[in-house]
Amino acid sequence: MTATRKKKANGAQDLPFEEAMGKLETIVDSLEEGDLPLERSLQLFEDGVHLSRACVQRLDAAERRIEILMKDAAGDDQPQPFEAPEEEG
């Protein structure tokens, strides 16, 4: 990976989660329009992949923190898995 690409990949890690998600949504919207040159589309796609990975890492870390808090609250030796509420509908 080139230094420029490493910098972009690390830059996604430095953004607040909400800002990274907003940029990712903007990228998706631009790509869905389909009127970009190929090279620009590829660059946006690459940026989107970096943002997506950074968001997933942040969500995984948040889930681990919740599991630790649930473990501490339950007084158990084993972490309690976080279970997302089921959606109705």
Per-residue pLDDT tens digits of the chain, which is 89 residues long = 454 544 455 578 889 999 999 999 999 999 999 999 999 999 999 999 999 999 999 999 999 998 888 876 666 666 556 676 676 65
Give me the long-range contacts of 75-83 (CB less than 8 A, separation at least 24): none
Q: Is the dihedral of CA 34, 38, 39, 43 positive or negative?
A: positive
Q: Is the pTM of this model over 0.75?
A: no
- Using left for φ > 0, alpha for ψ between -120 and 50, and beta otherwise, residue 75 falls in left
Give the residue carrying structure tokens 């919207």.
Answer: 29
Contact 77, 35 (CB under 8 A): no
Question: In order of start, what are the domains of the chain with their CATH numbers?
Answer: 3-74 (1.10.287.1040)
